[in-house]
Amino acid sequence: MSTRRLQKELLELKNEGAPAGIQLLKGDDFQSWILSIEVLGESLYKGDKFALEFRFDSQYPIAPPSVTFVVNEQFQAPEHPHVYSNGHICASILANEWSPVLTVSAVCITLQSMLASCKRKERPPDNDRYVARAPADPRRTRWAFHDDDV
C-alpha cells in the first residue's frame, strides 16, 4: 500500500503544488523525501529556511513516517523548545497521535505552524542529554507530551 499512496501524494504535490512556504527538494524514491519549509509572515524564524526529511517504511500510512529536520552544512534544525539539535522533533502527531489520514503535506503544515507560534527561540531543556543518547530513528524514542498550546 505504501508505494501507491506515496505515488498519489507525490502526484498531488506536483500537480497542485505544495502548500505555501513548502517545497519538495527530493522525492525520487519511496524511502525518503526531503522538503524545505519556511515560516511565512511575522515570526521568530523570518527568512530562515529549514529542511525536513521524511523516511517511509512499508507500513506507511498505518505507521507514521520518521520525520526529522535535516542537519548538515546547508541546513540547521530550528531553535525551538520541541526540536532537538540533532533534528529530532517532539510532536505528538509524529508518534502516538499519528493518524493514517495525515499526509506529508499535512505534517509540513503542522510543523510550519508549530514554528510560527513559537514565542522564544530555545532548545528543549534536556537537549544535551537526549542528543547524546538518541536513537537514529526518532520513532524509537518514547516521547512524553505536555505542551498543549502548540
Partner 1 sequence: MNLFLEEDVPDPTDFPPDTNAPGLRSLDEVLRCTICRELFEAPVTVNCSHGHCFCSLCIREQMNTKQECPLCRQTIAEVYIRRNPIVEDILGAWKLSRPFILKLLEERNSSPPATPPTHSVTLQSIPSSLSKRRRRMSSSSDDEIVELPGPSEMRQALQKSDVKITSSRTSSRKPMVQCPICRKEMTEDIINRHLDDNCKPLSTIRSPTPKKRKIQTQEWSRLFGNDSFANKGKARSKPLPELDIKEAESLPKMAYDTVTAKTIRERLSEYSLPTEGEKPALAARHLRWITMFNANLDASPSERKTLQQLRKELRKREENEGLQKRRKTRPHNVDVNVYEKDNKLAFAQLVEQARPKPPSQRPAVQASVCDDTSILDEVAVSDSTEIKRTSGSGVQ
Binding footprint of partner 1 on the chain (CB under 8 A): 1, 3-5, 7-12, 15-16, 27-31, 57-58, 61-63, 90, 99-101, 124-126, 129-130, 132-137, 140-144, 146
Alpha helices in 26-124 (DSSP H): 104-116
CB of 47 to partner 1, least distance (A): 28
- Could you tell me the three cell numbers for 75? 541546513
CB of 97 to partner 1, least distance (A): 8
Tell whether the torsion through CA atoms of 92, 2, 138 and 113 is positive or negative.
negative
CB of 132 to partner 1, least distance (A): 7
Tell me phi and psi for residue 34, to 5 degrees: -125, 130
**Nearest residue (CB) to partner 1, 31 versus 40:** 31
Distance CA 143, CA 126 (A): 12
Task: Please list the active-site residues.
Answer: 90
Distance CA 131, CA 143 (A): 14
**Nearest residue (CB) to partner 1, 30 versus 70:** 30
